[in-house]
């Protein structure tokens, strides 16, 4: 294998370099990866880096000639943990064919690992490895506390095809959220530059255990064009229903795929998502601010954000169109406020 340069895709933004290599080249040993990074054979946009550096979409990674571990000839017998993972994943499946799986990711389950995060979707996918040892591959990501549609490819070839579909913005993603207050106008476009901001420390809801992974501490901030690490982000939103003046049910369509985009955008327009302890103004003065102050009595203190629907061209032809049901805590809130999931969602009429 000769040295090559690979570009980081939009759906790989925020991924650690070592996990990016694991995703792109799963048979590369960790020890060899650490060696080639330490000796400067791996470069990101021409600069030396460390394995834990987080990548941004569009960056170019130099990959030197590699010593790849041969894939196993047959699948290992699953142990008790992997069998439990397999059953859990099977219960999440919304759609499956020979090329891909669409999961209904539950609230609170991380998609990828991090410091202190041992149980996550990416690790669980090892339980679905085929007879040749090839395991399914994540195509995109959701925040730990975001529920809903998550796409997984069964082979790396299909993953590459789906990655190109996301990269070229042929995929439509629709999210549902309950937010504090009622946005004006009722339908709009949010266009902002986002950049990584300072961590918030232990930002957790009452009753939740502390989370120490990097993603939990990371918070995006509103930036200006030209600021370091600033990236443009666009979201369309529309009100589906409301309980004025306390809250609204929004349908949101992100055009770009930045870290925490919808959560940061909702806060930026003054209507943070209910149950979000990070993007609700707490960073301004955490000593005086209760991030859950606006939650009506009886509403669970969990993030009310659902990856509701995913529509994209199937790599083998036709259209993939999958919808996720409300997670239990959002269903309870919808029932409380009399919101009907069958109500017309006007987001499809929003201009792009």
Active site residues: 143
Helix (H, G, I), strand (E, B) or coil at 142: coil
Tokens of 245: 């003046």
Q: Which of 121, 160, 119, 129 is nearest to 307 (CA)?
A: 121
Hey, CA dihedral for 242, 335, 101, 13, is it positive or negative? positive
Q: In sequence order, which residues have a C-beta less than 8 Å from that of residue 244 and are 6 or more positions away?
A: 182
Rg (CA), the chain: 21
Helix (H, G, I), strand (E, B) or coil at 38: helix
Contact 36, 44 (CB under 8 A): no
Instruction: State the residue for tokens 């300072």.
Output: 198
In terms of Cα–Cα distance, which of 143, 150, 178 is closest to 329? 178
Q: Alpha carbon 23 to chain centroid distance? A: 15
Distance CA 202, CA 158 (A): 38
CA distance 319 to 130: 25
C-alpha dist (Å) from residue 75 to 127, 135, 188, 318? 10, 10, 50, 32
Which run of H or of E encompasses 289?
Answer: none
Instruction: Decide: helix, strand or coil at residue 190.
Output: strand
Q: Is 85 exposed, middle or buried (0-12, 13-18, 19+ CB in 10 A)?
A: buried
């Amino acid at each position: 294998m000769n040295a090559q340069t690979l570009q980081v895709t939009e759906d790989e933004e925020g991924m650690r370099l070592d996990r990016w290599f694991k995703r792109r080249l799963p048979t590369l040993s960790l020890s060899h990866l650490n060696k080639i990074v330490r000796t400067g054979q791996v470069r990101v946009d021409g600069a030396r880096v460390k394995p834990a550096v987080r990548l941004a979409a569009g960056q170019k990674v130099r990959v030197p000639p590699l010593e790849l571990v041969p894939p196993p000839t047959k699948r290992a017998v699953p142990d008790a943990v992997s069998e439990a993972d397999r059953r859990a994943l099977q219960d999440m499946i919304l759609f499956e064919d020979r090329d891909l799986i669409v999961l209904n990711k539950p609230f609170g389950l991380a998609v990828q690992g991090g410091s202190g995060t041992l149980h996550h979707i990416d690790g669980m996918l090892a339980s679905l490895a085929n007879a040749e040892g090839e395991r399914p591959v994540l195509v995109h990501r959701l925040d730990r506390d975001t529920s809903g549609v998550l796409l997984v490819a069964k082979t790396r070839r299909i993953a590459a095809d789906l990655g190109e579909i996301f990269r070229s913005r042929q995929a439509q993603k629709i999210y549902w959220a309950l937010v504090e207050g009622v946005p004006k106008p009722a339908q709009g476009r949010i266009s902002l530059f986002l950049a990584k901001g300072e961590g918030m420390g232990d930002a957790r809801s009452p009753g939740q255990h502390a989370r120490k992974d990097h993603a939990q501490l990371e918070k995006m901030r509103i930036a200006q064009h030209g600021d370091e690490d600033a990236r443009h982000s666009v979201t369309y939103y529309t009100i589906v229903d409301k309980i004025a003046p306390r809250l609204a049910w929004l349908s949101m369509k992100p055009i770009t795929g930045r870290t925490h985009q919808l959560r940061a955008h909702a806060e930026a327009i003054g209507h943070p998502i209910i149950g979000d302890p990070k993007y609700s103004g707490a960073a301004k003065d955490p000593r005086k601010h209760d991030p859950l102050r606006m939650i009506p009595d009886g509403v669970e203190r969990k993030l009310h954000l659902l990856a509701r629907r995913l529509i994209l061209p199937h790599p083998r032809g036709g259209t993939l169109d999958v919808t996720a049901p409300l997670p239990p805590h959002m269903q309870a809130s919808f029932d409380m406020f009399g919101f009907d999931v069958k109500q017309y969602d006007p987001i499809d009429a929003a201009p792009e």
